[in-house]
A and B are shown apart, each in its own frame.
Chain A
Amino acid sequence: MNAPLIVAVPAKGRLQENAEAFFARAGLTLMKPRGARDYRGAIAGLDGVEVAYLSAAEITSQLAVGGVHLGVTGEDLVREMIPDADKRVVFIEGLGFGFANVVVAVPQAWIDVRTMADIDDVATAFRHHHERKMRVATKYINLTRDFFSSHGVIDYRIVESSGATEGAPTAGTAEMIVDITTSGATLAANGLKVVEDGTILRSQANLVAARKAAWGKTERDLARVILDRVAAQARARAFREVRARFAAGTDMLVENAKQKFTIETPFGGPTSSGMLILHCPPDQVYGLTSFLRESGAEAVAVADLDYVFSRDNPLYAKLEAGLAR
């Protein structure tokens, strides 16, 4: 028997809840057959898949070396921990949770600093004034170095910080920081502001595949099933189903609608009885329903979708392309 496909999922906290909810929405129920404290699990009804519960950092390092096939982790960690990340992993899909921006933040009192160009200038002046380099507290050492380098900033030192980074300037252990923020509230509470062009990365939880893992036929087949369901769920989430019935005069109706709205016609044009089913992004639903009624629809019904399966499997295609790269 081949080694099973290993899917790594965060072992605790909000990230675990969100990841489990995400898989559940895709009809993939994560189980811990040997009890809640076990760090190995399975997916109900899908033999050959092992779920590994790990910390987000461990998931990332396992993805780098191919110790797991698929994993849920933040893009920030992947970019920070894996040099040349795109050579080692394939980003398959942003999962819509775990949003965080990695940003450069300075004390609000630095009213003369708005951009990275200001930081460059200030850093050099700082070295001349203080005979030492400005310190940047962060746990994102690699992201910081690459970003500062891309802005030509050289007069700085990184101070590694593993927690409460936003307190470093007040504590006097650094002059500025690079950290994650969601709303900026914690930064503001610590008297810091984000530099205008200082957003290094807009991160969210991602489904990531390891290029170095063993990808035999069994593993690929299992991944295809998982990604098919994830894609069906993702597509369902992106659309509402709009049903309408027309008594007559439906020539060109679909073509006109397609020009006005980004809709899809999963089942083709109207049936002989005048029924038409469209898939429409949520923010265009009201525009579309008005248009359909103006075009002669007797009634329009809108409903949420659970799954939309189609013959193609875009996420699996992405995996295949990424592995072949």
Chain B
Amino acid sequence: MDASVATQRKEPDARAETLVASYERAGYVRVAPPMLQPAEPFLDLSGEDIRRRMYLTTAPDGGEFCLRPDLTIPVSRDYLASSSAGNAAGYCYLGPVFRYRADAPAEFLQVGIESFGRSDKAAADAEMLSLGLEATAHYGLASPDIQIGDVALFASLIAGLDLPPAWKRRLIKDFNRKSNLAQDLDRLVLGGNNARPEYQGVLAALAGSDPNGAHALITDLLSIAGINAVGGRSVGEIAGRFLEQSALGASAKLPQEVRGLIERFLAIQGNPDEAAADLRALAHDSRMTPALAPALDHFESRTGFLEARGVDVKRVRFSTAFGRGFDYYTGLVFELTDPKRTGDPLVAGGRYDDLLTRLGAPDPIAAVGFAVWIERLALYGGVS
């Protein structure tokens, strides 16, 4: 028998039921999406890495399905398919999710909330964090560690820098995948383009040419090489990339001060008030106040809403680097952990404003939510 599969049917968790009932009373509609979900949205939005943790199956007609590895995507899809799509709506759930874990049961319970379409984003952010805190309090952990990040700040910083689009794209990607950022900064600072010497002729020939000229040159090169079929990418895309590299080569190095700025930015941490002051100072020193102001205003407004909800913000730990490597968050990212235990979050959530568009919504829809790991909280004693 595979140890990763739960063999006993557990009694419904009464405390989880009362928790989700409290979310219902707060105005969130309780939903129960199907366990069996199309696999495509999870693989597309979370990346191939999630495949190793998913329970996949194939339908007789070839469609790929999975046991839901989380409830954010199922709840989002149901919302988009409903008549409420595009309007403000909030949902809560209690149910099992399924992920392969080497040393723990693959099926485990989550309670959570997804809130869609609210334009008062700072207030919605604060409400999620405070409802998450209610969950740990409900299980008897009144003062968990609160770690937050805000990935919109890094995005605003990069957007405001005077850099070629290709470098911006790369820095954003490096931020999202955790590693590589320091390495990439090194490479960009050392300068030049990354093309191998074999390319130099092509890049030199392309320097200063327009897309049409580049297209013609690449078409000729392919034809000389006897390559007729172009798979997947068009000649225009290949020419475009050469042009981009040629432009990168001309604009040489990432200025040392930009690198210093990014490093100074990523070192900022502390409680939200301290961090905001540091970020304002950084924006002022680097003359980037216009670029960073909207994200910073939102950040400070959120802190205000947290205080209004009775959260002791001095206890909140903020870090600009927190949230790196997380899948689809676009703003607030938060985790609640037990100060006496290391590691796994008890509650985790954040803002994911791009998700619904990526799931097919015609217009952007604001979205924020969190999930509670019931089995991790079940270790605690009593209801507060």
Residues of A that sit less than 8 Å from B by CB: 83, 107-112, 114-115, 117, 121-122, 124-126, 128-129, 132-134, 141-142, 144-145, 148-149, 152, 154, 156-158, 169-170, 172, 174-176, 191
Contacts and interface: CB of A to CB of B under 8 A. Distances in A.
B314 interface: no
B169 A133 contact: no
Contacts of B198: 114
A125 B241 CA distance: 9
B231 A156 contact: no
B44 interface: yes
Contacts of A132: 44
Contacts of A83: 52
Interface string B6-47: 000000000000000000000000000000000000011001
A83 B242 CA distance: 39
Given A133-B44, A154-B177, A157-B43, A109 B231 contact: yes
B229 interface: yes
Nearest to B172: A124
Nearest to A193: B227
Contacts of B238: 109-112
A121 B241 contact: yes
Q: Which 10 A/B pairs are nearest by Cβ-Cβ distance?
A: A175-B232, A107-B231, A169-B231, A109-B230, A109-B227, A145-B48, A112-B241, A108-B227, A191-B229, A152-B180
Given A124-B173, A154-B47, A158-B51, A170 B231 contact: yes
B209 interface: no
A314 B384 CA distance: 64
Contact of A109 (B169, B180, B222): B222
Contacts of B194: 117
Interface residues on B, range: 35 or more
A132 B218 CA distance: 25
A125 B238 CA distance: 10
Contacts of B221: 111
A107 B230 CA distance: 7
Contacts of A126: 232-233, 237
A22 to B, nearest CB: 34
Interface of B: 43-44, 47-49, 51-52, 166, 169-170, 173, 176-177, 179-180, 194, 196, 198-199, 218, 221-222, 225, 227, 229-233, 235, 237-238, 240-242, 245
Nearest to A141: B51
A273 to B, nearest CB: 63
A303 to B, nearest CB: 50
A124 B168 CA distance: 12
A152 B233 contact: no
A246 B12 CA distance: 89
Contacts of B179: 152
A228 to B, nearest CB: 37
Contact of B222 (A111, A141, A149): A111
A108 B179 CA distance: 30
A189 B173 CA distance: 35
20 contacts: A109-B227, A109-B229, A109-B238, A111-B218, A111-B221, A121-B241, A125-B240, A126-B232, A126-B233, A145-B51, A145-B52, A154-B47, A158-B43, A169-B231, A170-B229, A172-B231, A174-B232, A175-B233, A176-B232, A191-B231
A158 B48 contact: yes
Nearest to B221: A111
Contacts of A148: 48
Contacts of A129: 237
A83 B169 CA distance: 34
A176 B230 CA distance: 12
A21 B196 CA distance: 46
A145 B50 CA distance: 10
A107 to B, nearest CB: 4
B180 A121 contact: no
